[in-house]
Amino acid sequence: MPLRDALHAVHRLFDPGYNPPPLPPRALESLNGRDDLKAAVTKPINVSLRRVATWQILDAIALAHGNLSWIVKYRGVRPVSENSVIEMYSSDKWWVMATARPRRGRL
């Protein structure tokens, strides 16, 4: 699966009902003429782990893709999964992010 889908799969570990937002059509269009970048963003990766911490999953995704680092940020006042944003950064100066969806009635 592509990197973006892998990050959304991490969000589904905490919220099985999580449905990622569709990729805006202009997102891949903006990569026209940048075949190297398009290949990096859409490169399929495969990770299979059991009984590990979230940071180990993110490390495995970064390693499987190659040359990535990650960070998790939180929106709002509470550092809980529904407020999280997972970001993967490449040393080639591009990044991909996946944002969790807050549950109704919660901050």
pLDDT digits (tens, 9 = 90+) for 4-36: 899 999 999 988 888 887 777 787 777 777 888
State the burial class of residue 37 (Cβ atoms within 10 Å of its Cβ: 0-12, 13-18, 19+).
middle
- So what's the pLDDT on residue 94? 86
- So what's the pLDDT on residue 39? 83
- Say how far apart CA 20 and CA 60 lie, in whole Å: 21
Q: What residues have CB less than 8 Å from 78, skipping those under 6 apart? A: 107
In tens, the pLDDT along 50-103 reads 999 999 999 999 999 988 999 999 987 788 888 899 999 998 888 888 988 766
Is residue 15 a contact partner of residue 101, using CB atoms and an 8 Å limit? yes
- So what's the pLDDT on residue 75? 86
